[in-house]
Amino acid sequence: MVLHNPNNWHWVNKDAGAWTKKWLEENLTKLEAKEGDVTAKISRVINMDGDVEVAQRKGKVITIYDFKLTLEFSGSTPEDDDITGTITVPEVTHDLTEDEFVFDIDVYAENKEKQAVKDLVRSKIVPQLRAEFMKLSPALVAEHGKDIQHAPGENPSSGFATPKYHPPTGINAAKAATDVAPKTQANKTGTLVNTTSLSIDPEEFRTTAEEVYLTFTDPQRVAAFTRAPPKVWEGAKVGGKFALFDGNVEGEFLELEENKKIVQSWRLRQWPAGHYSKLQLEFDQNDIDRVTVMRVEWTGIPIGEEDATKRNWLEYYIRSIKATFGSLIQFRPMDLFLDNNFAIASSYIRRAAAEGAHLAVLPEYHLTGWCPERREFLSACSRSSLYLPRYQALARGLRINIVPGTFCEVHRHDPMPISEMPGGTEIRNMAYWIAAGTGELIGSYQKVNLWHPERKVLAAPEPPDGDPSRKVHKAFDTPLIWAAGDGTETKPIRAGMLICWDTIFPEAFRALAAEGAELVVVPSFWLTDPKDESFEGVDTVKINPDCEKVLLSNVVVTRAFKNECVVVFCNAGGVSQVAVPVVGRAPAEKIVKGSQEMTPAREGWIAGTKTEEMAIVEVDFQAVKVLKGEYKTLEDMEKRGWKYYGGPWMKRKE
């Protein structure tokens, strides 16, 4: 490869996909493990699907890769010497840390006799794979960096090699066909600006064309997705001017066809003075399933501004519009496998952020599982707090709020009288709210109402006994924003947190409601499947096998209505849901199960009892405002004459 790149300044990249597959075949097939009479080894690379590039810009060599990897392993036990299966890694990317890779392990013709090999692969082979993946980026730089970067002191002036042309196919060909050659356009100041068009994929919204049209034309809706009132809004009419995002975007409505088309002049603040592009949006609704496709035609973009314009459009328009709320990540953790559970959780959080969610919620005990009878449980709890900074890093990097289930934290303290923990040790079940962008811990909560078996293991906070400084239920302002009133005012959503068994007690919700909570997040580990071994001998299940499911299906919605707030219930044992006043259960915009994307029903979403799934849920917080005006429950609670006024859990208003 001949390089002409003075001072290593320009962007240069090299495809390293074929080399990477060969590197994986050479290095991963060396991995093997043995434990007693059980053996396992990686036998071959079945498939590598994705892209790998080594790039250079401004003197720095970087690697960019994202691929799915499928491996085959073989193993043996004393009973069977021919056991085979696959390891699927859904994402091997350049920005994952060692403990963030996810591994799906399957054994061909699986039975209990082959379980020992599967366990050995998970416990011994998977850590080796993690270590090998971390070697890939340095290996790519060492092998290919010299091909795309001049050595110090070199600066050839000739020897330019024309890059090989790869004609576009499929969707890319369709995009290429729509590209328009650069044009010269005069702006309002008379200055000539070289312009081009922008190719953007159609966007699908699981709602009506009317709703999507209103999103761009109703000031209240505009304020909701821009997270601030418009700086200028002369109305959605021909000639009506607007300025959004504190004046960084401005334009004018040129053409309006209700529920079908919007044409605007549109510019970013940094563009040449007086220059506007033309943005055309068309809405096509499928009347069968009420899905609307928005097609975008965009011309007059200044040359060199295409990437920034597209990035801003996708980030601040599309992602924000689709992300009215957030995601619930329901999965049953593997007891004591903290690394594996974190990898599953972080993978789903990355997917949630990519889908535009503003909040990701995980279940209770999502790292350690609930197995206090195991002697390793205390040790696992002591390590769980080490993962909190990792979630903070995800919240910063992905710009998503995270409530990462709960952490069983070990503290030195006088134990509770009935505790079975070693003297001077107590375990606190803690939930945290991590703020998007900053990673700051803006809210925390220790579980108050412990389930009967938990009381021998966990410590609950001491009751406040009327002392307001020792209040255990506290609400806090979050980075989430919603438009109040007519859309000219925005306010932060005020939230509180509860955990699992707290759901039974209405007093806990009332305490948060009195604190002004409009959103209550409830991580939970509440089993609902009557076939689970934990239900053996339980009398309630004998009467009604679905009793736990019936309870949770109703109580969460009831708490939302009675306390005039949205309740997010994320449960490791199933029946996860988002309950909204007036609405009931909120619908899911998208459901992801492992690597599969499911088509959600339009009715309210409620998760199954045993499924691992992530739901992207849309919430209209205006329903909270409507219910407050109709039910006036909290208004009654704040009055001194209210028959249940006062008490140690309530906030008094004289």
Q: Is residue 84 part of a domain?
A: yes
Work out the end-to-end distance of the chain between its first and last CA atoms, rounded to an integer number of angstroms.
79
For residue 139, tell me if it sits in a domain.
Answer: yes
Alpha helices per DSSP H over 480-600: 506-514, 539-543, 547-563
What pLDDT does 171 receive? 35
The pLDDT value given to residue 590: 77
Q: Which helix (H) or strand (E) holds 497?
A: strand 489-497
* Domain final residue, candidates 91, 113, 148: 148
- Which range is most confident: 178-192, 332-346, 405-419? 332-346
Task: State whether 306 and 381 are in the same domain.
Answer: no
What pLDDT digit, counting tens, does each position of 404-426 carry? 999 999 987 654 554 555 556 88
Across 215-374, the runs of DSSP E, i.e. the strands, are 232-233, 241-244, 249-257, 261-268, 277-286, 291-302, 326-330, 359-361
Q: What is the CATH number of the domain that holds 68?
A: 3.15.10.20
pLDDT of residue 168: 38
If you average pLDDT over residues 634-642, what whole number do you get? Answer: 67
Looking at residue 554, its pLDDT comes to 94
Q: Confirm whether 453 is domain-assigned.
A: yes
Asked whether residue 173 is domain-assigned, the answer is no
Across the chain, what does the average pLDDT equal?
Answer: 81
306 token code pair: 């295409």
Domain shared by 496 and 552, yes or no: yes
- Cβ–Cβ under 8 Å, residues 304 and 196: no
- Please state which of the ranges 257-266, 435-444, 474-483 shows the lowest mean pLDDT: 474-483
Q: Which pLDDT score, from 0 to 100, does residue 404 have?
A: 97
Compute the CA torsion angle 434, 435, 436, 439 (nearest 10 deg). -70
Residues 338 and 287 in one domain: no
Last residue of a domain, one of 305, 321, 337: 321
What distance in Å separates the CA atoms of residue 281 and residue 259, rounded to the nearest whole number?
A: 10
Residues belonging to the chain: 654
Residue 612: how many CB atoms within 10 A of its CB? 16
Q: Is residue 490 part of a domain?
A: yes
Q: Which residue has the higher pLDDT, 464 or 36?
A: 36
Higher pLDDT residue, 28 or 317?
28
Greater confidence (61 vs 578) lies with 578
- Tokens read off for 273: 């003075």
pLDDT in tens, 102-137: 888 888 877 888 899 999 999 999 999 999 999 998
Residue that wins the pLDDT comparison between 103 and 464: 103
| H-assigned helices in 366-465 | 377-384, 388-398
Contact partners, residue 214, CB within 8 Å, separation at least 6? 221
pLDDT-based confidence at residue 623 (cuts at 50, 70, 90):
confident
Q: Domain holding 216: CATH number? A: 3.30.530.20
Residues 54/13, Cβ–Cβ less than 8 Å: yes
Name the pLDDT band for 190 (thresholds 50, 70, 90). Answer: low
Integer CA distances (angstroms), 225 to 397, 432, 469, in order: 21, 26, 37
The CA distance from 348 to 343, in Å, is: 9
pLDDT of residue 145: 75
Give the pLDDT score at 200. Answer: 85
Q: What percent of the chain has pLDDT over 70?
A: 79
In this structure, the answer to whether residues 317 and 331 fall within a common structural domain is no
Do 256 and 337 lie in one domain? The reply is: no
pLDDT at 356: 67
Residues 146-157 as b or e (16 or more Cβ within 10 Å = b): eebbbeeeeeee
User: Measuring CA to CA, which residue among 639, 45, 100 is closest to residue 348?
Assistant: 100
Domains identified in the chain, total number: 3
For the ranges 109-113, 147-151, 342-346, 545-549, which has the lowest average pLDDT? 147-151
In the chain, pLDDT over 90 holds for what percent of residues? 40
Q: What share of residues in the chain are helix, strand, coil (percent, to 5)?
A: 30, 30, 40
Q: Which of 302, 321, 340 is the last residue of a domain?
A: 321
Range(s) of the domain holding residue 217: 196-321
Q: 50 and 137: one domain?
A: yes
Within this chain, do residues 363 and 431 fall inside the same structural domain, yes or no?
yes
Q: Is the pLDDT of residue 45 over 90?
A: yes
Pick from 310, 328, 326, 327: which is nearest to 318 by CA? Answer: 310
pLDDT at 175: 39
| pLDDT of res. 491 | 73
DSSP H helices in 515-598: 539-543, 547-563
- Mean pLDDT value of segment 361-366: 96
Structure tokens at 350: 């990355």
Q: Mark whether 308 and 341 lie in a shared domain.
A: no
**DSSP conformational letter for 518:** S
- Other C-beta atoms closer than 10 Å to the C-beta of 320 total 16
491 lies in a domain?
Answer: yes
Q: Residues with Cβ < 8 Å from 612, sequence gap 6 or more?
A: 330, 331, 332, 344, 593, 594
3 state SS of 186: strand
Write down the pLDDT at residue 96. 82
- For residue 140, pLDDT over 70 is answered with yes
Q: Are residues 28 and 142 located together in one domain of the fold?
A: yes
Q: Which two tokens stand for residue 47?
A: 């498939």
| Sheet architecture: strand order including 577-580 | 476-484, 489-497, 519-524, 566-571, 577-580, 584-585
- Which domain CATH number covers 347? 3.60.110.10
pLDDT-based confidence at 535, cuts 50/70/90?
A: confident
pTM of the complete model: 0.58
132 and 217 co-located in one domain: no
Q: Judge if 113 and 206 occupy the same domain.
A: no
Q: How many helices (H) and strands (E) does the chain have?
A: 16, 30
pLDDT value at residue 572: 94
Neighbouring-strand partners of residue 65:
52
The closest of 247, 35, 186, 20 to 123, measured between CA atoms, is 35
509 versus 66: the higher-pLDDT residue is 509
Is pLDDT above 60 for 567?
yes
Kindly indicate the confidence band of residue 541, based on its pLDDT and cuts at 50, 70 and 90: confident
In a domain, 183, yes or no: no
Residue predicted with more confidence, 446 or 468: 446
For residues 213 and 236, give the distance between their C-alpha atoms in angstroms, rounded to a whole number.
11
Asked if 312 and 331 sit in the same domain, the reply is: no
Q: Residue 522: phi, psi to the nearest 5? A: -125, 90
d(CA 108, CA 100): 26
Asked if the structure places residue 378 within a domain, the reply is yes
